[in-house]
Every structure is written in C-alpha cells, then in structure tokens.
C-alpha cells in the first residue's frame, strides 16, 4: 500500500526530516506538533529522546487518528554531556568547540503511531561521529556557512560536513535527524507503507 493512500504525517518542523522522507519517495503531509518538549538533561538521553518523540507523535495523532504519524527527536551525547539545540550564537560556538577533535554519539528516537489501528512502534538509533581538529578560525568559518541554531550540537553533517567531520560510523541519515533504513523497514513491515516510486 502506498503512503499516499494510508495518510502518512510527519510530526516535525524540521526541514531536514521532511527532505529525507521526500528523498526516499514517500508521499506525506507535515504537521508541526504544538508540544512543550522535556529539556531536563539529567534524564538519560535514550529515555529523554524517546519521551519527546512520543510526545510529538501523540500530539499530532490526536487530530489525525486515521493517519500514520512519524515523529523523531535527536540529541548529541559528548561523554556525559547532552547537547541539544543552542540558544544563541555564543552557545553554538561553545558546542562546536567542545566537539572539536573528539568523538560523540548522535541519538535519534523515532515513534511511529496509528491510533485507529492501535499500533505504535518506538526505536532509537545511535551513530558515532568523529570530528576533525579545527582551529578557532575554521570553526567560525564553518558556522558562517550554516545556521547552527536549529541543530542539535550546533552542526549539520549534510551541510559542509566534510569541513568538520573526520568519519561517521553508522547511519548518516540518523545524524541528519531521521534514520531512514530503520524507518523504511518499520513502515513496510509494521504499517504496510512503502514509498511512492
């Protein structure tokens, strides 16, 4: 069954997640969830991202119970420190500097929900990202090329990522914000939804 016939909804304001679903051939609508995300960084990262993804999916599914809703939440873990989206340019610069020359993990939790079918699938994907060592000038130049404000960790792997990233171990689409291999598999196996190609 195609995604158009079933009513697939992306519960996200992220243009990157929208682009990924489009790239992979899905027909869907977008509804930005009106929710207050939990930002308590003392909560374990897997639990925090899962909670926020479910919160977003449920908020949109209530107004579209017949639809299959996809929501996701992405955070960066550097050692024991959780990095979300920076509040201002100064914090963005601090975040990028803290990642400089180090390895970190990107966690994306996904909830796929269809209320009318009483079906929910939740999963989390983790990817290891290894940063190059950059001079302060190179870091500043990178931030001039992107908008770091709406990105966990204040960087975008898909936007001039070659300037800052040495290597990625795992899913590149997970780092962008939606682990598409896993999303495709769950949509097909659990919800009978395939791309419209």
Q: How far is Cα 98 from Cα 60, in angstroms, rounded to an integer? A: 35
* Residue 114 token pair: 């269809």
- Residue 87 has what pLDDT? 92
Q: Which 8-state DSSP code applies to residue 130?
A: E
| Tokens of residue 196, six digits | 């419209």
Average per-residue pLDDT for the chain: 93
Enter the pTM of the model.
0.91
Q: Is the pLDDT of residue 197 over 60?
A: no
Domain 3-191 falls in which CATH fold? Answer: Maf protein (3.90.950)
Which residues participate in catalysis according to the annotation? 73
| Cα–Cα nearest to 71, from 128, 23, 117, 21 | 21
Q: What is the pLDDT of residue 4?
A: 42
SS3 71: strand
**Mean pLDDT of all residues in 45-70:** 97
| Dihedral sign of CA atoms 84, 106, 180, 147 in order | positive
Q: What is the mean pLDDT of residues 154-165?
A: 94
Asked if residue 3 has pLDDT above 60, the reply is no
pLDDT digits (tens, 9 = 90+) for 171-194: 999 999 999 999 999 999 999 999
Rounded Cα distance between 120 and 114, Å, is 6
What is the DSSP pairing of strand 119-131 with strand 165-169? antiparallel
Per-residue pLDDT band at 1 (split at 50, 70, 90):
very low
Q: Which of 102-106, 131-135, 155-159 has the lowest mean pLDDT?
A: 155-159
pLDDT given for residue 127 in this prediction: 98
Per-residue pLDDT, 56: 98
Find the angle CA(190)-CA(158)-CA(193) to the nearest 5 degrees: 15
pLDDT band for position 107 (cuts 50, 70, 90): very high
Residue 60 — very low, low, confident or very high, per pLDDT cuts 50/70/90? Answer: very high
Phi first, then psi, for residue 40 (nearest 5°) are -80, 100
pLDDT tens, position by position, 16-53: 999 999 999 999 999 999 998 898 888 999 999 999 99
């Amino acid at each position: 069954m195609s995604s158009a016939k079933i009513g697939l909804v992306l519960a996200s304001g992220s243009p990157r997640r929208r682009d990924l679903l489009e790239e992979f051939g899905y027909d869907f609508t977008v509804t930005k969830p009106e929710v207050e995300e939990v930002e308590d960084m003392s909560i374990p990262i897997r639990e925090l991202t899962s909670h926020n993804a479910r919160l977003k999916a449920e908020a949109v599914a209530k107004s579209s119970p017949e639809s299959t809703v996809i929501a996701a939440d992405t955070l960066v873990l550097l050692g024991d420190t959780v990095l979300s989206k920076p509040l201002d340019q100064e914090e963005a610069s601090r975040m990028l500097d803290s990642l400089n020359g180090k390895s970190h993990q990107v966690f994306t939790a996904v909830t796929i929900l269809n209320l009318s079918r009483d079906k929910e699938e939740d999963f989390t994907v983790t990817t290891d990202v290894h940063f190059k060592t950059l001079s302060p000038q190179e870091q500043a130049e990178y931030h001039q090329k992107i908008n770091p404000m709406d990105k966990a960790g204040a960087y975008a792997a898909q936007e001039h990522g070659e300037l800052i990233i040495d290597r990625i171990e795992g899913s590149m689409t997970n780092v962008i914000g939606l682990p598409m291999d896993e999303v495709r598999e769950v949509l097909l196996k659990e919800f009978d939804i395939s791309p419209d190609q």
